[in-house]
Amino acid sequence: SAVDPRTRHFSEFPEYLERLAGEYDWSRRDQEQQQDDDEMKVQNDGDGDGSNEMSRNEQQPIKKKAPPTAIAMFCTGGIRCEKATSYALQSNLFPQNLPIYHLEGGILSYLDDVAKREKQEEE
């Protein structure tokens, strides 16, 4: 799912990236995530006798999100994406085997390329 860092200056990006990385449990594998989800559902559903129900005053532990399989970034002109991708790769906030991509040249370059391809197809 897409996220917007809502940063106005690149100097705000490292702090945002640290917060974002902290929202995920990077130690989980897909299979472990499914097993945890199944166990949590059983605990929450209970068997109908009320023995597994939590009182409304009890807090459930905060469960971190399953990690993404890749990260893709895009920016208007591309320069910030190159800096952001470089920072993300060097930050050690993400596993080394997590692919991190950026749209080369930014969204403006991409839209220009699409327009050129469409024009060539019309000819």
- In contact, 66 and 34? CB cutoff 8 Å: no
Give the active site residue among 75, 81, 84, 88: 75
Q: Is 81 a catalytic residue?
A: no
Length reported for the chain: 123
- In contact, 77 and 102? CB cutoff 8 Å: no
- In contact, 65 and 25? CB cutoff 8 Å: yes
Report the catalytic residues.
75
